[in-house]
Amino acid sequence: MSLLRATRRQLLKLAAATLGAVAARLSTGATRPVAAQPTPSRSTPALDVVLRVNGNTRRLTLDPRTTLLDALREHLHLTGSKKGCGLGQCGACTVLMDGKRVKSCLSLAALAEGREITTIEGLARGERLHPLQVAFIERDAFQCGYCTSGQIMAGVACIAEGHTGSAHEIREWMSGNLCRCGAYDHIVAAIQDAASAAAAERRG
Ligand code: FES
Ligand code: FES
């Protein structure tokens, strides 16, 4: 089946419609997860999208409504980022975009073009885990692990933002990332450890 190519104007209209639909679901209190990636059809023009993910350039042809989370998981097979609510409420899908944390279930892949995206798969340096990954292991900061990649990506941003002055401050700035297993005390401790290590490294 040949798919038409969408124009940028069409994309932006679709983006507005898609985000509007999410907003409507949130305003009505709907909590059912959104469906997986939209199914392209004759009436859904495809779009060529170039993403920078974990330092690599990836070229994709996507339904313009595809979220960044679905592009990562379904098209690039980077399944570390998880789909919890699909509504921006749980943080399981958190990735970094140009170093800032974003909920990838609320971001359209096509609008992430030109941005540097980092997922949990891109955090380690070869065999060497990121210090926050190490701290999560040492602090036993996960149980089922479903929220963990999102917690770690948000934690990396939280440290970079300097919101680690106290356990209370960390809790506040990590409040967008939920853990059904209730591992919050351990998560906060891991972030404190990694923040202290980063500060010590800066001091030399
Ligand atoms: S999947 Fe819950 S915030 Fe994205
Ligand atoms: S470790 Fe299970 S949801 Fe957080």
Please check the confidence at residue 60 and state whether its pLDDT lies above 90. Answer: yes
Residue 204 CA to ligand 1 centre (angstroms): 37
The arithmetic mean of pLDDT across residues 53-75, rounded, is: 98
Query: pLDDT digit string (tens) for 155-203?
Result: 999 999 999 999 999 999 999 999 999 999 999 999 999 999 999 988 8
Nearest atom (ligand 1) to Cα of 84: 1
Q: Is 95 in the pocket of ligand 2 (CB under 6 A)?
A: no
- pTM for the model stands at 0.84
Residue 46 CA to ligand 2 centre (angstroms): 36
Name 198's Cβ contacts closer than 8 Å, sequence gap at least 6.
131, 159
Instruction: Identify the band that residue 19 occupies on the pLDDT scale cut at 50, 70 and 90.
Output: very low
Q: Is 143 in the pocket of ligand 2 (CB under 6 A)?
A: yes
The candidate with the shortest Cα–Cα distance to 65, out of 25, 123, 19, is 19
Ligand 1 probe mutation, 89, 174, 175, most atoms within 8 A of CB: 89
Ligand 2 probe mutation, 120, 177, 181, most atoms within 8 A of CB: 181
Residue 183 CA to ligand 1 centre (angstroms): 18
Q: Is 26 in the pocket of ligand 1 (CB under 6 A)?
A: no
Please check the confidence at residue 37 and state whether its pLDDT lies above 70. Answer: no
Residue 81 CA to ligand 2 centre (angstroms): 13
Residue 178 CA to ligand 1 centre (angstroms): 10
Closest ligand (CA of 146): 2
